[in-house]
Amino acid sequence: MVHLSEPEKLPPKDYRQRIEKLAEQISDPVRKLKFLHQALADYSLDRSTDATDRKSTEPETKGEGEPLLRKSRKNGPPGRQGKTNGFPLSVTSKSRRYLLYLLGGVGIVVCGLAMLIFLSNGSIRSKKTDQAETRPDTEPYHYIIPMVTATHPPEPILSESVPEKRTEEKPPFPEYLDTVIWMIEKTTESEYYSNRLRIYTAQTTDNTPRRYYRTPINADGVSEPGPETEKVVGILFHAAESDIYEFKPEMTQSIKEYSRLLIRYIRKKKAYHYFIDRFGQVYRLVREDHAANHAGNAIWMDSEAVYLDLNNAFIGICFEGKDFENIDREKVKVNGNGARIIPMARSSINEAQLRSGKELTDWLRVKYHIPQHNCVPHCLVSVNPYDLLIGHHLDLSYEFPFDMFGLSNKYEERIPAITEFGFSCNNYFVEVMKGRLWPGIIRSEEYLRQRADQQKIPLKDYRRLLNTRFTRLFKWQKEVKNSEAP
């Protein structure tokens, strides 16, 4: 039967705490370990050795731990009667050796861990350095060019309808095209292009040379009118909204004759630069470097400027056809704002016209570097400048095939007449559209509300400030035109 010896007792708690506190003052880990080792070794001396002998035989400690160790021995722990340095007198030599081995093992483990941490830190630093050396000087980034409006920071919905920013280095053709477009044949009657576009030119007439004042945008919003220019910056799509014959074979001669008369009338009025008849034939009626009387009072805006003279700034393309039909006068409401026209169930503009319209649009965009943001239906720019209302003309008010033309849906984008000058729509407009307002109107009104909140003024007052801005610019533009008239 094996008799186990009584478990070895540790030094008194207050003494252990004093030793630990003294050890904390030693910064060198090796010397700290030697100090702890020596302190415990003193307690493990044989019980037969008296205090005097122990003092004469104790090893000398050098360095940072020596005065601390001697101070500890001098004071000693309290209550040492019958004990040597705080250990029981019954501790055996075997127990002492076991304790020393245990302490040495702990020291080895601590040193090993410290070495491992040191090596791993060096490896991590080396890896980070390698990554820093191989990283390029500049990283790719994406940015959005905001539409600057009024004097406020952009609101959250601004990025949903950002106008296209044009750079100095113009691409040779729009990005969505696969090849460059070029003229392959020109005669006295027509021009023929590589994208199948044929333009009949015999009806081309002069008007007044293209010339207008653009109104730049700066950090404070719409500024004063800038320098005069003759640059083409956009395309305005129109529908003739004229009477039409039913589009079927037996009506071919009537359709052709009506188109011929309509072309003669448009040419006389110098109303559009281009006209596309119901068979998809394209006619140039006003030369491109001259203005045409197609836009009336209109407002549009891109990332660079606000345009109030779209007759000169934009090229007008007119499709023969209509989107609205008249209502019998008897059905019009006697009181209220009863609408006299309603949208047709389906637009009369056919596939041949749309295909030719896209080919013409592609060529003009290539020739004049026109951004897609500035290709817009007439309905979205036409205004009544005296009543400050949008939708004065409503041609192409719905279902224009923007996707087919490679354009963003302008019905969903904010309307500059509202956001920049505080225009609105009346009940008559709502009735004509049968309550189906363009999503851009709703977004524009929300935009104004946010701006008014940022200014901390009522929406009505903020709209009035914008109206005043437009009235000033519109009056200035009229005075300039009158002064330049012959």
How do residues 6-32 score in pLDDT, each as one tens digit?
444 566 667 677 777 777 777 676 677
pLDDT digits (tens, 9 = 90+) for 63-81: 444 444 444 444 444 444 4
Helix axes 66-75, 29-43, angle to 10 degrees: 30
**Is the predicted pLDDT of residue 364 greater than 90, yes or no?**
yes
Report residue 178's pLDDT band, with 50, 70 and 90 as the boundaries: low
What mean pLDDT do residues 453-467 have? 94
Contact indicator for 398, 436 with CB cutoff of 8 Å: yes
Q: What are phi and psi of 61, to 5 degrees?
A: -110, 140
Asked if residues 279 and 363 have their Cβ atoms less than 8 Å apart, the reply is no
Per the model's pLDDT, the better-predicted residue between 406 and 109 turns out to be: 406
CA dist 219 → 122, 222, 223, 421, 456 (Å): 51, 9, 9, 17, 20
How far apart, in whole angstroms, are the C-alpha atoms of residue 310 and residue 30?
86
Rounded to two decimals, the pTM is: 0.65
Residue 226 pLDDT: 76
Q: What integer pLDDT is reported at residue 116 of this predicted model?
A: 61
Long-range interactions of 77-80: CB distance < 8 A, separation 24+: 77/11, 77/12, 77/14, 77/15, 77/18, 78/12, 78/14, 79/12
Spatial distance between the Cα atoms of 406 and 454, rounded to a whole number of angstroms: 36
Question: What is the C-alpha separation between 67 and 63, in angstroms, rounded?
Answer: 9
CA 378/CA 414 separation, integer angstroms: 15
Q: Which of 40-44, 170-174, 211-215, 234-238 shows the lowest mean pLDDT across its residues?
A: 170-174
Sign of CA dihedral 383, 388, 390, 395: negative
Tell me which of 401 and 131 has the higher pLDDT: 401
